[in-house]
Amino acid sequence: MSSFKDLGLSENLLGTLLELGYEQPTPIQEIAIPQIINYENDLKAFAQTGTGKTAAFSLPILELIDNESYESQAIILSPTRELAIQIAKNITDFSKNIPGLKTVAVYGGASIEDQIRTIKKGAQIIVGTPGRTVDLINRRVLKLNSIQWLVLDEADEMLNMGFKEELDKILAVTPETKQTLLFSATFPKEVEAIAKHYMKNAMEISAGTKNVGADSVSHEFYLVSDRNRYSALKRIADLNPNIYCIVFCRTRRETKDVADKLIADGYNADALHGDLSQAQRDIVMQKFRNKNLQILVATDVAARGLDVNDLTHVINYKLPDQIESYTHRSGRTGRAGKIGISIAIITAKEKRTLSSIEKIINKKFEQKQVPNGREVCKNQLYSLIDKVHDIEVNEKEIKEYLPDIYEKLEGLSREELIQRFVSLEFNQFLSYYENTQDINEDGSSKGRQPDANFERFYINLGKKDKINATKLIGLINENLKVRNVEIGKIEILNNFSFFEIDKNYLDQTLEGFKRTSYNGRNIIVEQAGSKKGSGKRKKTKRY
């Protein structure tokens, strides 16, 4: 393996990397850094989440950038504010010994006036989310006419989140002479289309195989009924006393619900979702990074950009709507040379989706049995004993109390002391799991169990109309004209589709799609059949 010195970096940057504890480049850094420094070709780079992509594109830019000019020379786009903040922080750390070099993060959920003032003072590197970047361009504050490097980080996720229009606007105001660097964990057709349209003579590099899960992550699934999903989550957490994980949910409502239940049941957990202010999100993330939280419950969008190296598990409470997103979820664990486990809690109905994910990541899921109470208690008890065995005794602090303690415990044998200690610490846990039932399913599909919080709708648009989940979400938001409505599961079929909406917005949904069309075709929206597993739809309230 090469050293950072072999990659063409200056002594200034090498000294900074040494200060920050960077010893050896990762495979993507080893390939990308000299490529960007020595060649002006555009670059398509594949690397899994957590493999050091930020350093791979930022270090060569810092090597080449003109720190004496205050013009913006590099624009880095990321799908979420968390990722934008993290990238900007990393670049600030890397450039701390470069005089006059300024990096600014621009993103929604924070004061645009403060960001405008910072940009006007001069910043060579801008890191932004697509929406806020377009806003600043429209306000004629952010000028990209001198841009030499455009980085699209997590390009696949930006497209999944519906940012194609914003990307088009941003790229249109950058000079043709720039070097475009596209980094992505997966390369779906939409990303290839962006590369083909906006990149010239692009080199392609890869640290791994496209669209394949990381080797450091193993994949497991537990098969349960929908009503036992939360119970399975608790048992998985209890089976792993030292768990440090992200639990992924599909909606904000589900995230809140799961986190609230975990907290009420005594777990060290909290939630991260779109309804939190930036200050609240920062507090939750700081607690999680400091390991004051063991379990973070989050949506896909909220969890993008989390840079936490020691996660033991990622748990998919529900599989993502966009199956490519599974790669990003699982990539949160198994980082920085560590081993991680990605778990999916699924119902029989979701086994087909799991098979599709296996094809994308080119790895098989191993089916595990939800543990019974005896297995959970055994793991918890042994973990407790290990902690007692390994605890460092501070005899100086407890010395004065020991004579009285010895006197109170006089007459108890070693065995009796251990039994009483275990009972004191463990009786409540043993009682909870004493009569637990087997909640594993046999794999037979018993029909779809709808979420009671959502109403299911039929729409007469499908794959043949070139509809995907992102476009359908856009149509729903456009026609409902109501902000922050929860959208549940989406199923895109050939000739029609199904989607779920917060049941409180049933009438607004039906009313909103009256006399609407898509590409010249009249849209029909109906309530889907209420009979479980029927697949039929009602003939009432048709528009």
Q: What's the helix, strand, coil split of the chain in %, to 5? A: 45, 15, 40
Q: Is the dihedral of CA 199, 202, 206, 209 positive or negative?
A: positive
Closest of 178, 66, 81, 181 to residue 122, by C-alpha: 66
d(CA 443, CA 433) in angstroms, rounded, equals 25
In this predicted structure, the answer to whether residue 330 has a pLDDT above a threshold of 90 is no
Q: Tell me: the pLDDT tens digits for 393-452? A: 888 888 888 889 888 888 888 888 888 877 877 777 777 777 778 889 876 544 444 556
Burial group, residue 414, by CB count within 10 angstroms (0-12, 13-18, 19+): exposed
C-beta of residue 277 within 8 angstroms of C-beta of residue 109: yes
Report whether 28 contacts 56 (CB < 8 A): yes
Residues above pLDDT 70, as percent of the chain = 90
Output the CA torsion sign for 135, 78, 465, 508.
negative
Sheet-wide strand order for 497-502: 487-492, 497-502, 454-459, 525-527
Tokens of 111: 């004061």
The structure tokens listed for 86 are 């993290």
Strands 313-316, 179-184: pairing kind: unpaired
For position 337, what pLDDT does the model report? 66
Which of 114-123, 480-489, 512-521 ranks highest by mean pLDDT? 114-123
**Residue corresponding to tokens 């980085």:** 151
The band of 377, judged by pLDDT with boundaries at 50, 70 and 90, is confident
d(CA 367, CA 270) in angstroms, rounded, equals 28
- Residue 4 · residue 25 · CB < 8 Å: yes
Nearest Cα residue to 530 out of 445, 447, 444: 447
Return the bridge partners of 368, or none: 222
CA distance 427 to 234: 18
Task: Record the tokens describing residue 222, joined without a space.
Answer: 């537990």
Any idea which of 59-63, 198-202, 275-279, 482-486 has the lowest mean pLDDT? 482-486
What's the one-letter identity of residue 526? E
Question: Would you give the DSSP letter of residue 213?
Answer: -
CA distances from 158 to 169, 366, 390, 415 (A): 14, 30, 46, 60
DSSP codes joined into one string, 420-443: HHHHHHHHHHHHHTTTPPP----S
Tokens of 411: 């007459």
Residue 236: predicted pLDDT: 95
User: Each residue of 73-109: pLDDT tens digit?
Assistant: 999 999 888 889 889 999 999 999 999 999 999 998 7
Which pLDDT score is estimated for 447? 44
Question: How far apart are alpha carbons 369 and 163 in whole angstroms?
Answer: 40
Query: Is 80 exceeded by the pLDDT of residue 511?
Result: yes
- The whole-number pLDDT of residue 475 equals 87
285 and 82 Cβ atoms separated by less than 8 Å: yes
Lowest-pLDDT choice from 33-47, 360-374, 397-411, 421-435: 421-435
Q: Decide: 455 and 527 in contact? Cβ < 8 Å.
A: yes
Domains and CATH numbers, the chain: 4-207 (3.40.50.300), 217-368 (3.40.50.300), 373-432 (no CATH), 454-527 (3.30.70.330)
Per-residue pLDDT at 452: 66
**What is the share, in percent, of the chain residues with pLDDT greater than 90?**
38
pLDDT of 304 > 70? The answer is no
Question: What is the Rg, in whole angstroms, of the alpha carbon atoms belonging to the chain?
Answer: 26
pLDDT for res 536 = 43
Question: Which residue's entry shows tokens 């645009």?
Answer: 112
Task: Name the least confident of 131-145, 170-184, 357-371, 522-536.
Answer: 522-536
**Mean pLDDT over each residue of the chain, to the nearest integer:** 85
pLDDT tens across 238-275, in order?
A: 999 899 999 999 888 899 999 999 999 889 999 988 78
433 CA to centre of own chain: 32
Q: Contact, 258 vs 230, CB < 8 A?
A: yes
Instruction: Tell me which residue of 231, 277, 169, 208 sits closest to 45, measured CA to CA.
Output: 208
pLDDT at 220 over 80: yes
Q: What is the dihedral of CA 194, 200, 203, 206, to 10 degrees?
A: -10
